[in-house]
Amino acid sequence: MEKREQLYEGKAKRVYATDDPDLVIVSYKDDATAFDGLKKGTIVGKGAINNRMTNFLMKKLEASGVPTHFVEELNDRETLVRKVSIVPLEVIIRNVSAGSFAKRFGVEEGIEFSEPTIEFSYKNDDLHDPMINDYHAVALKLATWDELDLITRYAFAVNDLLKAEMRACGVRLVDFKLEFGKTSDGKIVLADEISPDTCRFWDMETNEKLDKDRFRRDLGNVEDAYHEMMKRVMGAE
Ligand code: UDP
C-alpha cells in the first residue's frame, strides 16, 4: 500500500490518499482542541492511544455486526480505512447526563437515564454544529430516512457493546459521539474514532473523569487519563 498526497487535515487527524481509490490512510495527531477550536493544546501520546483504541473497538464492533471503515492498523498512529463520504451528522448517545445536555436542560451531571438517548448535530463549523432533528436532516438531504434508521440502530448497538466493554474494565460510559460514512457502493459504515476524545468515561468507583473533559476543564493529568483508559480497555501500555 502506497501512501500518497494529503487529502485533508482536520483538528485531530490527517487523511492521505493511497494507490487504491477506495482506501485512505488516517493519521492521528496529538493536537487537541475544544470549545469550537477556541482552546488549543497538545496531549502527548494521544494520537497513538486514540488510533489503537479506536481500532481495537472497531474490530469488536465489526465482529458483532456493525460495519465499520476499518481495514488495517499500519503503525501506532496510522490506519488504513475504507474511503467514505462522511454523513454530516454527529450522532450522540447518552447514558448519563453531562456536558451540553446538563447545560441545555438545566440539570446536574451524573443522572443515570433509564434508557439511552440519541441526538444529532449538524456538522457545520460556520454554524457551530447546531442540534438538528431527523426531519430537518432529511429536508436538508444530509441523509435519507432509511439511512437515519440504520444509523440509529447501529448507534444503539455500539452503545450496547461499548457499555459492556467499559463495565468490564471499571468504567462508566457516560456519553459519546459517532460519525458514519457512505462507501462508494452506498453502504453506511461507522467511521471516525471511538476514543477519550469522543467519549465520556468515568471511573465506576470514584467517578474520576478519564477523558477529554480533563483537557476541556483544565483538570490536570490529561495524558495519565488517556493512558489509564488504554491500559484498562486494551490491557496494554
Ligand atoms: N463530542 C465530540 N465532538 C464534538 C462534540 C461532542 O466528540 O464536537 C462528544 C463529547 O466528547 C461527549 C459527547 O460527544 O462524549 C457529548 O458531548 P456534549 O454534547 O455534551 O458536548 P460538549 O459538552 O462536549 O460540548
DSSP one-letter code for 195? S
Model's pTM, two decimal places?
A: 0.97
Q: How far is the CA of 213 from the centre of ligand 1 (A)?
A: 9
Is residue 198 within 6 Å of ligand 1 at its C-beta? Answer: yes
Q: What is the pLDDT of residue 1?
A: 84
Q: What is the pLDDT of residue 166?
A: 98
Query: Exposed/middle/buried for 128, CB within 10 Å: 0-12, 13-18, 19+?
Result: exposed
Q: Which of 54, 122, 177, 215, when mutated, tests ligand 1's pocket best, judged by the most ligand atoms within 8 Å of its CB?
A: 177
Q: How far is CA 50 from the centre of its chain?
A: 9
Q: How far is the CA of 151 from the centre of ligand 1 (A)?
A: 18
Q: What is the pLDDT of residue 236?
A: 67
Backbone angles phi, psi at 27, to 5 degrees: -125, 120
* Helix ranges, 169-221 (H): 213-216
Amino acid at residue number 205: E
Confirm if 89 and 122 have CB atoms less than 8 A apart. yes
Q: What domains can be seen in the chain, in order of their start residue? A: 3-82 (3.30.200.20), 85-232 (3.30.470.20)
Q: What is the pLDDT of residue 118?
A: 99
Residues of the chain with pLDDT under 50: none
